[in-house]
Amino acid sequence: MGYLNGETIRFNTTGINPYFLSEQDISNLILKNETVIQYADQVKEIYFFGAGCSSPDKHEVVSNGLSEVFQNAFISVDHDLLGSVYATCGNAEGLNCILGTGSNICYFDGKKIHDGHHGLGYVLGDEGSGTFFGKKVLLAYLYNKMPAGLASEFKKAFPADKEQIITNVYQKPFPNIYLAGFSRFMASHRDHPFIKDILKTGFQEFVNTNVKDYPKYKEVPCHFVGSIAYYYQETLIEVLEENGIEPGKILQKPIEELFNFILQKEGIVQQTS
């Protein structure tokens, strides 16, 4: 999103992650968007929050890639966790969780983020994420542990055979995104006991591994950002309440709230009561 002469400008690009894209890849990706290019020379400030941007060297990759396109702009690059904190907690204390393709969590004291021992990626972690659930559903199907009726529906939705699946997971780029794609199967079968059990078990694993790692998890609201949290929020809230955790905001995409927070924080617009 952008703000120019009092007008809000909306646009989309594919995801930008410096672990997977080079500086040149990032600038090429941006240059494909006609809306962005139309205003590129007029952009004065950019605030980018993205996955994989937790270290200075990764900041530089994104910043340099963006600078190739937005040559007149001040560019700030930060981790997606901080962006989601601004969107959910604002200036208040709370836990902030990401449940999308991957998963992560942090505690925000109202002024700064306190990182935990999380965000280990889809091989070691990502409990409760799209990749996590996609893998669970896929394995249930491949191991013939899925009820027959569901298995028949799964085969219609994803006709790839075992060899194709193994090739995509082990030999092609972005296996995490590929695996997360299988989690979409749960959406139209969320009321099936087998799927609901996978959801409850996965969210409980996220709570046990991530949320309960913070001493104040029962004292502050627990916010969520991401499609998995948003689309399966009924089951997520059920699990949170069973663990004595106060559900906070649950946002599919934090961009609107983050955009408004940055405008107010930088004094570009006045906060409304």
Amino acid identity of residue 240, one-letter, is L
d(CA 33, CA 206): 36
DSSP bridge partners of 58: none
Percentage of the chain beyond pLDDT 70 is 95
pLDDT (tens digit, 9 = 90+) per residue, 27-60? Answer: 999 988 888 888 888 888 899 988 788 788 988 9
Whole-number pLDDT of residue 146? 96
pLDDT band of 269, cuts 50, 70, 90: low
DSSP bridge partners of 195: none
Whole-number pLDDT of residue 273? 41
d(CA 39, CA 11): 11
pTM to 2 decimal places: 0.82
Q: What phi and psi, each to the nearest 5 degrees, are found at residue 258?
A: -65, -45
The mean per-residue pLDDT over the stretch 107-114 comes to: 90
pLDDT (tens digit, 9 = 90+) per residue, 231-241? Answer: 999 999 999 99
Whole-number pLDDT of residue 235? 96
Residue whose pair of structure tokens reads 């399966």 in the numeric block? 232
pLDDT (tens digit, 9 = 90+) per residue, 61-97? Answer: 999 999 999 999 999 999 888 899 999 999 999 999 9
Distances in Å between the alpha carbon of 102 and those of 23, 62, 92, 125, 150? 23, 20, 25, 9, 25
Asked if pLDDT for residue 259 goes beyond 70, the answer is yes
CA nearest 84: which of 256, 235, 237, 214?
256
pLDDT (tens digit, 9 = 90+) per residue, 193-249? Answer: 999 999 999 999 999 999 999 999 999 999 999 999 999 999 999 999 999 999 999
Whole-number pLDDT of residue 238? 97
d(CA 17, CA 29): 12
Going along the chain from its start, the domains and CATH numbers come out as: 2-72 (no CATH), 92-251 (3.30.420.40)
Joined tokens for residue 251: 């946002």
